[in-house]
Amino acid sequence: MHEDNLHAMRHTAAHVLAAAAQRLYPGVKFGVGPVIENGFFYDILFPEPVSDDVLKKLEKEMHKIVNQGHEMAREEMSIDEAIAFFAEKDQEFKVELLKDLKEKGTTKINPEEAQDIDVEHPDTASIYKTGEFVDLCRGPHVGNTKEVGAFKLWKLAGAYWRGNEGNAQLQRIYGLCFETKEELDAYLTMLEEAKKRDHRKLGKELDLFIFSDLVGPGLPMWTPKGTILRNKLDEFVWSLRQARGYQKVEIPHITKKELYETSGHWEKFQDELFKITTREGHVFAMKPMNCPHHTQIFDRKQHSYREMPQRLANTTMCYRDEQTGELHGLSRLRSFTQDDAHVFCRESQVKEEAMKIWDIIETFYGAFGFSLRLRLSTHDPNNMEKYLGGLDLWDKSVSGLKEMLDERGAEYFLGVGEAAFYGPKIDFITKDSIGREWQVATIQLDRNLPERFNLSCVNEAGEPERIVMIHAAIMGAIERFLSVMIEHTAGAFPFWLAPVQIVLATVSQDYIAFAKELEEKLRTAGVRVELDASHEKLGRKIRDAAKNKVPWTIVIGAQEADGGDFKVNVFGQEEDLLIEAGELIDRAKQESQFPE
């Protein structure tokens, strides 16, 4: 089915949900009901809070409405007529949207609300009738409710009206919608698998990270095992960068607001910043990104063209004041760690430096078996107020990225309006083991910050030459990458990355001395090993190691103590691995190396 038709189908399903809610719960008030990936949601204020049991009732009523075959009838009216129309129906949220459109224009309308309001024609409003239900909506919809397809109400959540905690809290009802029942069933199966792989669940089971109510939501803390994961990933990225001439730098976690005023971040993102006022009255911010700080390290002295490019790398924590309702495990946080790098180079060096970053990205994600597809994220020429710099500068940057993509022979698709506010980027998108897509690494081309900070080098003629800045995040945020990685592997990490690589399980107390000696040799060789010399039965020890998804479990008994081969139980494999006694340590060291 064409994407436009599927969008219309899902949009209609949202209206059918609202119509069902109105039938079953007279007096409900409606927020917005946009289309989202794989379905839709509707924000509804019920007379009383509802529970998950209500979803079954609503879904049953939705099927009745679909089978009745109501036409999706569209009408247009003026903004004032629409305000009066919805005021009479006591739909205060719809009235608020319409008044905002009339009095403040389209700038106050967010993308979700724009599915209800036609921002391209702000003088008129359209409504759709579904039986006795009438909703404010720009469309499009399918012609008749019988065309909705296969749907299921999925989950219930709370949502503040227009994302403001000072407003009423509505019930957000999520629904799934596909063309066929087979597609819906396949997606539901994937969701069940995703529950088993949920990184929040596995993070607790594998003792990787925690959240504390005393510390606050969106602020993860890492256990010893989780910290090993973070550090090994960071070391892997650094090994790839170091081989290509990067240098490490370090920066503070706060800054005067003047830095972000110069960069443009204060104007664009000040509502998302954690702000600090000192006892002397100075305003500081906790850094939400690192690029402005890095410009100051570059600008500490005048660079000759012979010193270019300058490649600065920095793994450091950033902070953003995300709304509580938008936080989600490690995927959306208030504190997160970026494996950040910025290349300061001449125009003639941009392509070569970007290609080096591309090589790092392919090597890193290839090590985990991730295939990558590419999106060229560009500016929206019709909304240039969202970006720094003029249209000519943006067109030049986009053209340069297109040349790189073409030279690399890469297939890509366009994401108009998906650029960072300071420059276009190549986004790398991967698919995990159960078919979900994630945007991961980026290469961002920036000619705006060098202009705003007056960054230059001295060229061959002894004259100042404006430089270009390339932003390069490989994991993006270590936490978010780990959320993807944990779910992709279901917590079964490759040997080189696993927090515990080997468990030595003794058959009886008689072999503890030998096992301790072997443990020490492995640890000295840099292998992360644990000894289970408890009084538990051997089967329990093996099951415990498997529960913790330890890559290798080695039973230590008479054969091993007498110098025989080691029988290695490899997690996820049916057959054991036999390793000669004299080769075990070298083999474990070899498996511990970063992938090539």
As annotated, the active-site residues are 291, 320, 338, 340, 342, 425, 471
Q: Please, are residues 41 and 174 in contact by the beta-carbon 8 Å criterion?
A: yes
Residue 61 CA from chain centroid, whole number: 35
CA-nearest of 523, 593, 519 to 556 is 519
SS (H, E, C) 93-129: HHHHHHHHHHHHCHHHCCCCHHHCCCCCCCCEEEEEE
Enter the tokens of residue 238. Answer: 């650094």
* Token duo for residue 234: 């960071």
Helix (H, G, I), strand (E, B) or coil at 440: strand
- Could you tell me which residues come within 8 angstroms of residue 373 by beta carbon, excluding any fewer than 6 positions away? 411, 412, 413, 428, 429, 430
- Evaluate whether 561 touches 554 at the Cβ level (below 8 Å): no
Longest CA–CA span in the chain (Å) reads 91
Contact by Cβ (8 Å): 555, 567: yes
Give dist(CA 438, CA 372) in Å, integer: 10
| CB-based contacts of 417, cutoff 8 Å, min separation 6 | 378, 379, 380, 383, 386
**d(Cα 129, Cα 74) in Å, to the nearest integer?**
7
CB atoms within 10 A of CB 221: 12
Identify the CA nearest to 274 among candidates 295, 296, 254.
254
Pairing of strands 502-506, 529-532: parallel
Alpha-carbon distance of 127 to 99, in angstroms, equals: 16
SS3 211: coil
**What is the number of other CB atoms lying within 10 angstroms of the CB of residue 379?**
24
